[in-house]
Structure 1
Amino acid sequence: MSNPQNSTNLAQGLKPRHVTMLSIAGVIGAGLFVGSGHAIAQAGPAVLLAYAAAGTLVVLVMRMLAEMAVATPDTGSFSTYADRAIGHWAGFTIGWLYWWFWVLVIPLEANAAASILTAWFPAIPHWAFTLVITLVLTVTNLFSVKNYGEFEFWFALIKVLAIMAFIVVGLTAVFGWMPNSNVSGVSHLTDTIGFMPNGLGAVVAAMLTTMFSFMGTEIVTIAAAESKDPGKQISKATNSVIWRIFLFYLVSIFLVVALVPWNDARLAEVGSYQTVLEQIGIPNAKLIVDIVVLVAVTSCLNSALYTASRMLFSLSKRGDAPAIAQRTTRSGTPNVAVLMSTSAAFLAVFANYVAPAEVFNFLLASSGAIALLVYLVIAVSQLRMRQKQEAAGEKLEFKMWLFPGLTYAVMLFIVGVLTVMAIRPANRPEIIATALLTVGVVVAGLIVDRRRKAARRAGVALG
């Protein structure tokens, strides 16, 4: 009889409400509340075009990913599909790159949360908050996937309610119904050097900034594998991604650029939401936004721990990571994968303190284009899998629109964005660092693949 402590199967502990709320708020991070101010300062009101372009890309990529995930739900998600559709090296590479991306997110989000708490409680050292936050969420992720689901449910609910409240307040101000407000109407869309004050190049640059705000939308396809009826959950989440991006990003950013001049220095300094609330005259605007941002970064940290551990678990199941990483507890939680991912994050933090600044900056830059590489791999995988399925006469429950035209269009768009990043001096270090990391991982994948094939040949010869 097998020991359940040595099991290698995940539990289906996520409830429908967990997956639903995760899908609704998974795309909402601190980038919306704070980082959007930098994008607005770059492109002016035309930042709406940047968000619309990036949002459209995410909608199409999610549609392609959902087509594959509904047909064969897997906690390895696009990494597993790349393995099957493109080759073992592709699944190995994109799986490890994605794991690396979220491992770096852990210390960054913990540091952001600690910065807010240190401002409230200056007597407690910054590093102590960083350590405690990371350890608490690591422990909750170790016990059961239900803990992750429950934490994310409430984190997500707070984020959604905060954005809805902001939209209501913003619309009230636009229509001039807000008492004691100094602003109304939408004149700021054009009254400060026009709608596109810095030209189309600035809009493209802002799109590069906004695109990474959407990273995390795909987590629902990973989480759904730990729920009952994953295909149904993935379909619901994907069908709702359009209104989520429209409501949370386009409507809220529209209100920001309508109510505040795009060249207001506060947008880049304190963030878009705080600037608008202060302009309207909402008391304690900074405290309100700090609380919401604290929830957002804690939520992102929680998701980073979860996502990194599940990707490492999937890589281990496929023989591409240490075998011990696929071990699970009695409750079906990959505890070793959680601990290994957290340990890697702590090493990144340690590198930040002891290594030269250039080293940590390279580590951060190396994750710069990973989101786009993930999207490109999803598109190529969907194209190849769909072609194979159609040749075999298989029927799909969930399909990509206008196949294969839209799939090719997405691939060309992503290659175009990567090319722009390579040309722009500001983004070139990210492309170089990500390219070096990718080449290293590809080489490692090819070595693993060659050893695996050699082992199989040796086994056949011995047989």
Structure 2
Amino acid sequence: MTEKQTDTSEPDQMNRGLTSRHVSMIALGGTIGTGLFLGAGHSIATAGPAIVLIYMIVGMFMFWMMRALGELILSDPNNPTFINYIEKYLGARAGYVMGWTYWIGWITIAMSELTAVGVYMKFWFPNVPSWLFEIGFLLILYGLNVVTVSAFGETEYWFSMIKIIAIVAMIATGIMMAIAHTRTVEGVTSIGNLWQHGLVAHHGHKILAAFQMVFFAFLGIEFVGMTAAETKDPVTTIPKAVNSIIIRILIFYVGALLAIMTIQPWTAYSAAQSPFVQVFSGIGITAAAGIINFVVLTAAASSLNSSIYTTGRMLFSLSSPGQKISKLNQRQLPVNAITVSTLLIALTVVVHFIFPGDAFELITSVASAAFVIMYMMLVYTHIKFRQSTDYLQGEKRFKMPFAPVSNYLTLIFMAGIFIILLSQRQTFWTTVIAIVWYLVMIMISIRKIPK
């Protein structure tokens, strides 16, 4: 990645059109996805009430990673992506490998989410071809992303708001039912449901797998790091957004899980169904499945929207000066890079006819494993930044707490997640493929980039 140069008729910096309200919601949206709405049933079945403690532990390390990223961003808020910091402090080859990995990772995530959009829409329109919905959603979100950056921010704000409303409704339902000792088909709603059947699932040997599941629920949390160059007053906005993450994790993840396991004993939840559907159906809301389908459709559209934004900025940052992709338009947007990335995402429709649906799950799993290494590199980049003259001579903004001890503890934790991935039968091969990807990219970087 190199510093961007543009024609004199073009602006040389992106438009700072994202407000504090947008960035705060984007930070929150990056921590809440289908992993909670659909995957919480599996997590509860795997770990029992101990899942709450696991979310808190993982959340602490993810917060530390975000504080490291936040300090990097505040050292130079004009960088178009956080990959620029990796390049600066770890070298051009590291930046090249991580940049293209992050770009292709978000492309595959976008393709998976676009597929999910088609599946969710089939819930209401079973006789309409899925690809019509996929193309329709993609065109709408592409249009929003190439109008203004504030249009993207506003869309992501309302996507996140829908998810928040669903979670708050779950928490409020749990509190009211616990106070009234409401009877359900599984017994009486009570805080005692949390421990009456034990605090750990009977197959407690699977507790390590729960750490991996919870870690993946947080994927995308770093997305706020892509918005700094287009944020109004990043020196104030970025710290506020990052610091709020830990509180929101406690409220929206821990709070929702506690409510779910208070309303009914945790043993009553099926790993194959959303616990949100099970709860709302159990209290007589017959439209529960449709409501949650709308929420997860929103979550998928939110991730797709973020993917278009991210892949466009990343491709812009990776391109060489003078290329059309490396230029901003008159609205200070990397429209050419956004267009190329969106066209690749649109290949989802073609891939449907060539490969079975499981191919997307495989590719996305590989991308997810690659993100573990990406996060480790971010934390290591922060260590190198702290050792550089930029930190020693620069203004100390938004310092990471307990560094460098917190850095090394976070690295150890993430290495542990990677070991868990290699030890689990379901994730072993996808993790191996991710390792092979990195090895190939390293060899390419050695050939392309002089030392």
The reply to whether TM is greater than 0.5 is yes
Equivalent residue in structure 2 for 1:9, among 1, 9, 13: 13
Corresponding position of 1:310:
313
2:212 corresponds to 1:189: no
Give 1:236's aligned residue.
Answer: 240
Counterpart position of 2:48? 44
Q: Is the 8 A contact 2:73 2:228 kept in 1?
A: no
| Equivalent in the alignment of 2:275 | 272
Say whether 1:284 aligns with 2:284. no
Change (3 A) 1:239 1:362: closer
Q: For residue 137 of structure 1, what is the aligned residue in structure 2? A: 141
> 2: CA distance between counterparts of 1:380 and 1:3?
36
CA distance in 1, matches of 2:158, 2:365: 32
Cα offset, 1:405, TM superposition = 1.0
Letter in 2 for 1:279: G
Question: For the residues of structure 2 that align with 1:432 and 1:38, how far apart are their CA atoms?
Answer: 24
Matches within 5 A, 1:54-453: 54-176=58-180, 183-192=188-197, 194-264=198-268, 267-316=270-319, 323-355=323-355, 360=360, 362-389=362-389, 392-450=392-450
SS at match of 2:367: coil
Counterpart residue type for residue 34 of structure 2: A
What displacement does 1:262 show? 3.2
Q: In 2, are the aligned partners of 1:48 and 1:253 still within 8 Å (CA)?
A: yes
Whole-Å Cα distance in 1 between the matches of residues 377 and 262 of structure 2? Answer: 37
How far did 1:237 drift? 0.7
- The alpha-carbon deviation at position 55 of structure 1 amounts to 1.0
Return the alpha-carbon distance in structure 2 between the equivalents of residues 237 and 424 of structure 1: 34
- Say which SS state the counterpart of residue 109 (structure 1) adopts: helix
User: How much does 1:281 deviate?
Assistant: 2.9
Opposite residue 277 of structure 1, the aligned amino acid is F
- Give the distance between the partners of 2:132 and 2:300, measured in 1 at CA: 17
Q: Which moved more, 1:159-168 or 1:253-262?
A: 253-262
The one-letter amino acid paired with 2:347 is L
- CA drift at 1:21: 2.0
Q: Which moved more, 1:287-296 or 1:300-309?
A: 287-296
Distance 1:141 1:112, change over 3 A: same
The CA deviation string for residues 188-209 of structure 1, in whole angstroms up to 9 with x for no partner, is 32333x2112455322101111
CA contact (8 A) 2:43 2:51 kept: yes
CA contact (8 A) 2:145 2:308 kept: yes
- Give the number of the structure whose residues are more often helix, by fraction: 1
Structure 2 segments unaligned to the other structure (5+ residues): 1-5
Q: Give the AA of the match of 2:53.
A: L
What letter matches 1:372 in structure 2?
A: V
CA distance in 1, matches of 2:249, 2:256: 10
Secondary structure of 2:368's counterpart equals: coil
Rounded Cα–Cα distance in structure 1 between residues aligned with 2:193 and 2:353? 43
What is the DSSP-based 3-state SS (H/G/I as helix, E as strand, rest coil) of the residue aligned with 2:108? helix
CA distance in 1, matches of 2:190, 2:130: 42
Query: Which 10-residue stretch deviates more, 170-179 or 113-122?
Result: 170-179
8 Å contact from structure 1 (residues 75, 226) kept in 2: no
Bigger Cα displacement from structure 2, 276-285 vs 216-225: 276-285
Task: Check conservation: 1:104, 1:348, Cα contact below 8 A.
Answer: no
The 3 A distance-change label for structure 1 pair 141 and 277 is same
Query: 1-side partners of 2:128 and 2:390: how far apart?
Result: 61
Aligned residues: 445
Question: C-alpha offsets along residues 218-243 of structure 1, whole Å, 9 cap, x if unaligned?
Answer: 21121132022112111101111110
1:122 Cα deviation (Å)?
2.1
Distance 1:355 1:252 in 2: 37
Closer, same or farther: CA 419–71 of 1 in aligned 2, 3 Å: same
| Distance in 2 between residues matched to 1:146 and 1:4, nearest whole Å | 24
Amino acid corresponding to residue 28 of structure 1 in structure 2? I
Q: Distance in 2 between matches of 1:45 and 1:255?
A: 11
Q: Confirm or deny: 8 A CA contact 1:104 1:364 kept in the other structure.
A: yes
| Offset at residue 446 of structure 1 (A) | 2.0
What amino acid is aligned across from residue 420 of structure 1 in structure 2? I
Pairwise CA RMSD: 2.4
In 1: Cα distance, 2:390 partner to 2:319 partner: 31
Q: CA shift at 1:25, angstroms?
A: 2.8
Q: Is the 8 A contact 1:40 1:262 kept in 2?
A: yes
Cα shift at 1:323: 2.9
Q: What CA distance in whole angstroms lies between the structure 1 residues aligned with 2:37 and 2:242?
A: 23
Are the equivalent residues in 2 in contact too, given 1:309–1:334 (CA < 8 A)?
yes
Shift in Å, 1:75: 4.8
Give the alignment's TM-score, normalised by structure 2: 0.92
Q: Tell me if structure 1 keeps the 8 A contact 2:46–2:203.
A: no
Residue 3 (structure 2) aligns with: none
Cα 1:200–1:81, aligned 2, differ >3 Å: closer, same or farther?
farther
Distance 1:79 1:132, change over 3 A: same
TM-score by length of structure 1 reads 0.89
User: CA separation of 1:14/1:263 partners in 2, compared to 1, >3 Å: closer, same or farther?
Assistant: same
Contact 1:36 1:210 in 2 (8 A): no
Distance 1:202 1:404, change over 3 A: same
